Each structure stands twice: as C-alpha cells, then as structure tokens.
Amino acid sequence: MASNSSESGEQQAATTKIQIYPAANSGISSFWKDKYEKDAKKYWDIFYKRHQDKFFKDRHYLDKEWGRHFTGPGGKFLLEVGCGAGNTIFPLRATYPDVFVHACDFSQRAISLVKSHREYSETSVNAFVCDLTNDDLSKQIPSSSVDIVTMIFVLSAVSPEKMSLALQNIRKILKPNGLVLFRDYATGDLAQERFTCKDQKISENFYVRGDGTRAFYFSEEYLTHLFEENGFVTEEIGLCCKQVENRSRELVMNRRWIQGVFCVPSMENDLNLSKSTLDGGSTEIEVKEAAAEVPLTVEFDMSEGLAAQMFGVSPSNDEVNQDFRTLILTVSKIRIKAFYVPVSPHVNVATFLIQVIDISFGDLNFKIKVLSKENQHTCRSTGLMLWESARLMASILVENPSITAGRRVLELGCGCSGICSMIAAQSAHLVVATDADASTLDLLAQNVSENLKSTQLGKLLVRTLHWGNQEHIDAIKKENDRGFDVIIGTDVTYISEAILPLFSTSAKLLSVDSTSGVLSEPALILCHVLRRVDEPSILSAASQFGFRLVDRWPSSSASRAQSIMSSWFSKIDSKDKIPSTALSILYFQRVKSDSGCQN
C-alpha cells in the first residue's frame, strides 16, 4: 500500500518516490484470536494501569451534539457503558447536575479510576464492573429505568459475534422511547488503513492493536442493521469526517467515525394513530425545530419486526396474521413533514444548521450557504462545506481569467459552494457545475441564483453527474456536444474506488479540439490534498484513459521556469491566499494518439 501522505519535499522532487509496504497476509491465527477474546479484560486493565486517566480527553462535545436529550423535568437517568476513566460521566455531570449516571466498564481498574475521581459521589454516580456480553445489567439497574445510554467508542472493542448480546442487555434497562447515543470508529479511518498493512486482522473490519486491545470499524449499513435486528429504531445516523493536519510535516490525516441515535420504541410510539390512519390514511408529524427554509416530506419504511414490537402483534400468529399485514400496510409508510435546508438523506437533518459565509476573491464577493462548522463533522456528505482546495483554485481563476475566458468549463464534484464555477462564469462561454449528491446540488442551485447576475446565470448550468454513469454523461453532452476545454476538480481524489470513474468520465467529456490562449490544449486540472489515494495511483489511473501529466504545482525549481502554472502563482504566492501548504495541483492533457485509451 502506498503512503497516503507525502512530505513537501517528496511532492517537489522531480522523480516521484514510492514507499512500498509488504502485503498484508490472512491475519492472526485462531490461537491468538481466542486468546485476545479470552484475555480482553486483562488487556484493558493493563491499558488503564499504563495510561491511568491521561489517554482519553474529556468529551465536552456531547453537550453540543446531543444536549437536547439530557434535559427534562426531574432529571434524566443515564447509563454510560465502557465508561473508562470517566471522560463522559464528569463533563456531563458538570453541565447537567440533575442527571444521575450509572457507569460500567469490564475493567476493574477503569472503575477504580472513576471512583477515585474528585467529582465522584455515590449520590450521583453508580459505578460498577460489568461485561455487557455476559453479565446481566438488570441485576445492577432496574429494568426499563434508564432514559439514555451512551456508547462512545466502546462497541468497537466487542467481538462482532457478541455485539447483539450487548445491545439486548442494554435494551432491557432502557425505558420505552429510551435512546442510545452512539459514536464509534468508521470504516476507512486512518487507523484501519494502517492496520491493513500489518498482520493484525482478526476478521472483517476487526483488528487487534499492539497492546492487545481490539477495534472494530463500522459501516453505516452494518450499524443500522445491527441495532434494528435487536429491536431499536434508527433516529439519526451519519458518517463523520475530520481532517487532522500536521503542519510541521505537511501531513493531512483523514479520521472517520460514525454517529447515531437509536430508540427503543414504545407500544404507541407517540404516533397517536387516528381512525383515518387505520383506514388507510397517513400520519403527519410536524417538526418545528431548526431554521425553516425549505419544506421537505421524508418517507421511511417500517419493517414487520419493528411494527410487531410497536403494536404488540406477532406476524407468526396465524389468527392475527391477516390483521397484522393490514396494519403493516397502513402504517409502514409514515410521512414526516419538516422544514429545513436539506442536507443529507437518512439523517435527521433538522438538527443541522446552514450558515452563510462571506468570501472575497479580488473584487468578487460571494455569500455562500454551507453547513455550519460545528455540524460539519456530523454530516456524511462532503459536498456541504467549502474545502481549502476550492479556495486555492478560486484564487487562481480570479487572478488568471485567461484560463477560462471564452471557454467551455466543466467542474466535477463542485460541492454546494460552487465558487470555482461562479468565478469561471465571469468570463467563460459556458460553465457546467456538477455533483452527485442531491442535497448538495439543491444548496448549490441556491448559491448560484443568489450570487450571480442574471446575465451570468444563463452561462452556468447545475447538473447531476455520477462519474461513470453513461446516462448522466450523455445528458451533459447534450448541453455541450463539442466537449469541454477545461475540466476542474477540487478535492475529488480522496476515494480510491472513484479514481478510475473520474478519469473515465473526464476522457469522455474533454474536448478533442485544440484551442488558442494560455491553455493550448484542453486540460484537466485537479487541485487536492493527498489523503487516502497516493499520487502514483492517481497518475496510473490517468494513463489508463489517455491522460498525461504536463505540469504540477509545487514544481521542482529546475522546471519552474518552464512550468505552465508558474505564472498562475506570480500574484498569489502568499500565505493568506494559499490556505494550506499540503495542497497540490496536477495538470493533465490527453495524449495525441487515442490508441490504448479506454473511453
């Protein structure tokens, strides 16, 4: 596996250096799998003996993420599973002093750390040792007495085969309509990528660390299925991404986790089913939270198992089977009418807020709607924010209008801001701004209509484009059958599976005609921070579809004088206009001969 992050010296070298790692083998042996399972408690005891309470930071973000759930008359009863040294318990107690917290961990040393904390009091915290997959929680906590269970980076330490046991244990002590607030590692996280290069795999997405503790990496589909098959309803779920940058080493690391809210349904589920509903009508629930901007009706399906739990009817009972199926048909489609700026499907977007940011490039000023910074890490769509690569490319286009003047421009994965497309529309003949996410395109259309003059709006088209989707490609060709002189992509190279479709689509949409001006040939320009996909992989994919690398930035000093892009930066080589030193640009053209190209 090639390194995902390169130091600036490697980026500037004339010859690309490739770090080769040994291929991962089949994983650890059965003996060690059994040992890590049997001695899991021992390894965590050693962990807390070594690190005490100094390893994990206090989780003050819980109030910002889920504060609405912790308030209520009479105070809430909360269970923190896998409490560790108390990094969740005590910040919550400080913010919500009326909350009573049950706290359990299967490490005795961790519980000892909780009880030795200066804020610990038996009148407000009940701490005890418990293995969720083996010990009955109801022996420590009365059944159906807890309002909220927090599971923060804990289920990942449990073997996948035993996760259902843990959730069934938790479900017994939750009240009807009780909630599980969940956050844990997601597939594709930097740590998982490092594990794949080593002999540490136990099973699919399950690994052992060097200290003997284990970690599972969840996909959204896996987590949803896991909770729902154990009697929970998914209220919110989303993939969270955060870029961690080491500026001294010019490294950008991609951290990913998954966050969700799951509910134990009550018998009525607070639906207040009316006679019209049972007669085949639909129930509407008015949601009056968050800033109202766009009305949207969301429909979701209810499984037979969930309906059985909600209404107390068993589908296996022959006597009531027909009535049960009739009930399923009448309530399995429930409409929730909400008013908000749409952001991402399958997430309770009413909790997300859109903010307007002011951006200036030269004499051009834009007011752009994006997902607010405090909520960006909780949204799985990457197109609802403004990335640094787009800022840099926008600065280049403003200072060098000849790049797009009189040309046909296509932007790939432009996101909701669309600033590069809007700047190109100032001088281009035609601009087509594309993305694959429907919510991103909705917000993009708003930003375009609110920032461009009427004379420019006719030149900028917002279109859906899934890379590799021939129907989408054909639809864009109908808008411009001559192909595009310039194709721009900012931060579109971070998913390995998308690299080949990216170049395949670009090859089909790039013009084959030569043009005059600074860009003598049609060009594909990619501005990005290298993350999960290394540069040699990008160049290899490009060559498969007839693209050759003509120029790059930063370039070596020897070739800088001949560089096409050297003149671009003559006016913007300043720290205030280059948002990150980890950014780089690759400039491609198609080879003259189409032989060997895959179109």
Q: Provide the pairing of β-strand 583-590 with 547-553.
A: antiparallel
Q: Tell me the three state secondary structure of residue 79.
A: strand
Closest CA to 525 of 366, 349, 396: 396
At residue 317, what is the residue type? N
Q: Residue 578: pLDDT band by 50, 70, 90 thresholds?
A: confident
Q: Burial-class residue 495 by CB neighbours within 10 Å (0-12, 13-18, 19+).
A: middle
Predicted TM-score (pTM) above 0.85: no
Q: What is the pLDDT of residue 289?
A: 35
Give the Cα separation of 172 and 176 in Å (integer). 10
More confident residue, 276 or 485: 485
Interval 74-128: pLDDT, tens? 678 899 998 887 888 888 888 888 888 999 998 888 898 989 888 888 888 999 9
Kindly report the average pLDDT of the chain as a whole number. Answer: 75
Whether residue 129 contacts residue 104, with contact meaning beta carbons closer than 8 Å, is answered with yes
Interval 344-394: pLDDT, tens? 333 333 334 678 889 988 889 999 988 766 555 445 567 788 888 999 999
Q: What residue segments make up the domains of the chain, in order of their start?
A: 26-263, 382-590
CATH of 26-263, one of 3.40.50.150, 2.30.42.10, 3.30.70.1230, 3.90.1150.10: 3.40.50.150
Whether residue 570 contacts residue 233, with contact meaning beta carbons closer than 8 Å, is answered with no
More confident residue, 114 or 8: 114
* Token couple for 252: 């950008």
* Token couple for 255: 């951290």
Q: CATH topology for 382-590?
A: Rossmann fold (3.40.50)
Q: What is the pLDDT of residue 2?
A: 41
Interval 23-45: pLDDT, tens? 445 567 778 777 878 777 777 77
Interval 167-176: pLDDT, tens? 999 999 999 8
Q: Residue 275: pLDDT band by 50, 70, 90 thresholds?
A: very low
Give the Cα separation of 299 and 284 in Å (integer). 10
Give the Cα separation of 234 and 66 in Å (integer). 15
Closest CA to 331 of 405, 253, 250, 265: 265
Does the structure show a pLDDT above 80 at 462?
yes
Q: Provide the pairing of β-strand 174-185 with 251-263.
A: antiparallel
Whether residue 463 contacts residue 493, with contact meaning beta carbons closer than 8 Å, is answered with no
Q: What is the pLDDT of residue 378?
A: 47
Q: What is the pLDDT of residue 168?
A: 92
More confident residue, 268 or 446: 446
258 Cβ contact partners less than 8 Å away, ≥ 6 residues apart = 182, 183, 184, 185, 186, 218, 219, 220, 223, 237, 238, 239, 240
Whether residue 491 contacts residue 497, with contact meaning beta carbons closer than 8 Å, is answered with no
Q: What is the pLDDT of residue 170?
A: 93
Whether 26-263 and 382-590 share one fold: the answer is yes
More confident residue, 572 or 88: 88
Q: What is the pLDDT of residue 246?
A: 65
Most confident of 249-263, 355-369, 457-471: 457-471
Which stretch of 37-41, 42-46, 287-291, 410-414 has the lowest confidence by average pLDDT?
287-291
Number of Cβ within 10 Å of residue 586's Cβ equals: 21
**Residue 284, CB-side half-sphere exposure with 13 Å CA sphere:** 7
Does the structure show a pLDDT above 80 at 243?
no
Number of Cβ within 10 Å of residue 21's Cβ equals: 12
Mean pLDDT along residues 186-192: 82
